[in-house]
Structure 1
Amino acid sequence: MKIAFDGKRFFNNSSGLGNYSRDLVRILATYFSENKYVLFNENQSVKGKDILNLPNVSFVETSKGNFSRQLKMGKDAQQINADIFHGLSGELPLKWTDKPIKKIVTIHDLIFLRFPQYYSFFDRKIHFWKFKKATEQADLIIAISEQTKRDIIQFLKVPEEKIRVVYQGCHHAFKVNQSADFLNSIKEKYNLPKRFILNVGTIEERKNLLHIVKAIHGTEIPLVVIGKKTKYFNKVQKFVKKNKLEDQVQFLENVSMEELATIYKLADIFVYPSFFEGFGIPVIESLFSGTPVITSNISCLPEAGGENSVYINPHNFEDIKAKILFLWNNESERNRRTGKSLEFVQKFNDEEIAKNLHAVYQEVIIE
């Protein structure tokens, strides 16, 4: 098979959709090397350069200019006789020729519909139109979780039989065993506490960092936070200063993937009380890193966390506090959950995901 991809996120996004796109192409090219994988974009970047060096992965430069991605990319894929076009971020080109080509789109979440207050009216309308159009054009739709599948059915009115759930994994850096020297070097570089709990993700209201900070107030448990700051950070910082928690809460930014993977391993507990996620990659990252997880009992997070993570009501910071203290003070319980969770998280390993993705490609070709 020859599979064409919209390469915009692959080349332009450093995290999130970019990581998904690069990992997807990398694992398919590794485990199903008999296929050809072609990335379309206006230009290349250093991101994913190692993947482009694989013998079965290539790049095609598309026309530059406004709307070329929407109006020309699909035709370009047909021109090279691609069997499948896969839109990796909820979009498909709008224009096609009569030449046969199967269309697949991945939808990660519909957060803009569940939490409209975080998006402008214009952005909500554009997102909805793009996603709705893509699901109508697609022969099959990939949802990254059962939660996203339910949302696609509910909000976009897509028949269930048109959707396949294929989980995503995480960067291979989280599956590497770093040396003790490297672990110590990162601990020294960032002046990390001897013991700490960790939170990773954009510092925005939906991720609910303020409730973690409220939960550790009155304890001596250090919290390390890694993520891009938004306006919501000001609300968190105000609480930190008011309650004199500056020495207890540490904020880090611009941490490399390898350093992030190391900090996960150094943490005693990973805490992720998000109100809603499409999947919750940080939970998977933590489980692969051998760090026990406390996360929300709603949305898709139990799908990602498995039965040996600890679940909380994200609206109740006292519940978060109780669960943090429970794990913080019980090393044997942390170790038990870590071992069981490491078994569970193997369902999100590269080979399993590659098999599931390839099965969707084969299904759509046979139709």
Structure 2
Amino acid sequence: MNIGFEAKRVFHNKTGLGNYSRDLIRLLSQYFPENNYFLYNPKPSDKKLFKTNNSNVFEKKPSSAFYTKFYNLWRQKGVIADLLKDKITIFHGLSGEIPRGLRTHNIKSVVTIHDLIFVRFPNLYSFFDRKIHFYKFKKAAQEADLIIAISEQTKNDIVEFLKIEPSKIKVIYQGCHATFKEDFSEKEQQEVVTKFNLPDNFILNVGTIETRKNILLAVKAIKNIDSCLVIVGNETPYANEVKSYIKENNLEHKVLFLKGLSLQELAILYKLAKVFVYPSLYEGFGIPIIEALYSKTPVITTRGGVFPEAGGPNSIYVDPTNVGQMQEAITQLLVNDNLRDKMATEGFKFVQKFNDEVVVNQIMNAYKNL
């Protein structure tokens, strides 16, 4: 098959949507090399986030001066001519969008919808962003032949808010990058400890520092705990609120902010942490939970929503508004080595359901069924 992808985020997004897209292309080309994969990128990339192999993975950009200038028009409609020229049989919109006119030209379509956070938490988005997101997602969901939801939580939201029949939606979970499944030498681990001046005993959180991720709960929880919280992620204005609390309560020595780590450095950080905390209010899935479980690091996350899907039966779940619960859970894990070991072992068994081979076979079967 010749399979096309809306690949803007493959080449331009360094976080969740980009990682999902790059990992999926990598797995498909590796496990199913007999197909050709065409990545339709609307504009040149500033940074080399993804490199095609030009044997079965090809990058395609607008070929005319008009669409090079008006690349959003190309993404929405002009790309159809390129799909026909490349004999594309299936087109996959990797992040909630597909171009108009696929059905007219007998090109089957799949769209992945990661979350509907803009509906669940409208206060986090501007009025116009909410309207644009809703229009694009609803239209893509209506026009696609198949919708892939990355969790049961997201599937339920699509049915509720976009009014789509459940039979049109298939839940296929995400995996995580292979780096988080590797083992690292003592020397490699020590280099990371030295580079970032890490304490012997620390709790880890990974994710953008924004209101929805709710990291202030964990900061408040460690106030009376003899440990350090390491927070890895890009900062939004919410980070100022977190840092103000830290300063007012003299916690500067207990909270370390890091960003710009390589994947290997991040993977080693997961392995070094005693506990991973993820007090997010809402996620489409929650990849950092999976990364922690692969790293054999016990997870404390949020009760309800998608989190039990990602964390499994052996993670600890707390109320995201209850500082006392988070404090109690962290303390319990720090003092109980046997519990930590049990959670690490059982969590690692659970997370195998997100292995590359499982995920990529489900994706390919979805394509073949179309």
TM-score category, normalised to shorter length: over 0.9
Contact 1:74–1:85 (CA<8 Å) still a contact in 2?
Answer: no
The alignment status of 1:333 with 2:335, answered yes or no, reads no
For 1:38, the equivalent position in structure 2 comes to: 38
Secondary structure, aligned partner of 1:213: helix
For 1:238, the equivalent position in structure 2 comes to: 244
Question: Aligned equivalents of 2:151 and 2:334: distance in 1?
Answer: 30
Amino acid at match of 1:42: P
Contact 1:89–1:107 (CA<8 Å) still a contact in 2?
Answer: yes
Compute the TM-score of the two structures, normalised by the length of structure 1. Answer: 0.96
**Residue-pair matches, total:** 362
Of 283, 302, 306 in structure 2, the residue corresponding to residue 296 of structure 1 is 302
The alignment status of 1:106 with 2:112, answered yes or no, reads yes
Amino acid at match of 2:113: I
Amino acid at match of 1:204: E
Structure 1 residue 77: Cα displacement: 1.2
The alignment status of 1:279 with 2:285, answered yes or no, reads yes
Within 5 Å, give how 1:191-202 maps onto structure 2: 191-202=197-208
Contact 1:74–1:96 (CA<8 Å) still a contact in 2?
Answer: yes
Question: Aligned equivalents of 2:275 and 2:289: distance in 1?
Answer: 11
Structure 1 residue 99: Cα displacement: 2.6
Structure 1 residue 79: Cα displacement: 2.4
The alignment status of 1:179 with 2:181, answered yes or no, reads no
For 1:22, the equivalent position in structure 2 comes to: 22
Within 5 Å, give how 1:208-227 maps onto structure 2: 208-227=214-233
For 1:47, the equivalent position in structure 2 comes to: 49
Contact 2:102–2:109 (CA<8 Å) still a contact in 1?
Answer: no
Secondary structure, aligned partner of 2:110: strand
Secondary structure, aligned partner of 2:164: coil
Question: Aligned equivalents of 2:301 and 2:104: distance in 1?
Answer: 48
Structure 1 residue 74: Cα displacement: 2.9
Structure 1 residue 78: Cα displacement: 2.4
Structure 1 residue 299: Cα displacement: 1.3
For 2:92, the equivalent position in structure 1 comes to: 86
Amino acid at match of 1:232: Y
Compute the TM-score of the two structures, normalised by the length of structure 2. Answer: 0.96
CA-to-partner distance for each residue in 1:158-201, whole Å, 9 max, x for gaps? Answer: 00000000001111110111111000000100000001000111
Question: Structure 1 stretches (4+) deviating beyond 4 angstroms?
Answer: none
Q: Percent identity?
A: 51
Structure 2 unaligned residues grouped into runs of 5+: none
Contact 1:221–1:248 (CA<8 Å) still a contact in 2?
Answer: yes
Question: Aligned equivalents of 2:30 and 2:50: distance in 1?
Answer: 14
Contact 2:102–2:108 (CA<8 Å) still a contact in 1?
Answer: no
Of 102, 113, 125 in structure 1, the residue corresponding to residue 131 of structure 2 is 125
Q: CA RMSD in A?
A: 1.2
For 1:65, the equivalent position in structure 2 comes to: 69
Question: Aligned equivalents of 2:59 and 2:249: distance in 1?
Answer: 53
Secondary structure, aligned partner of 2:112: strand
Amino acid at match of 2:69: G
Question: Aligned equivalents of 2:102 and 2:24: distance in 1?
Answer: 24
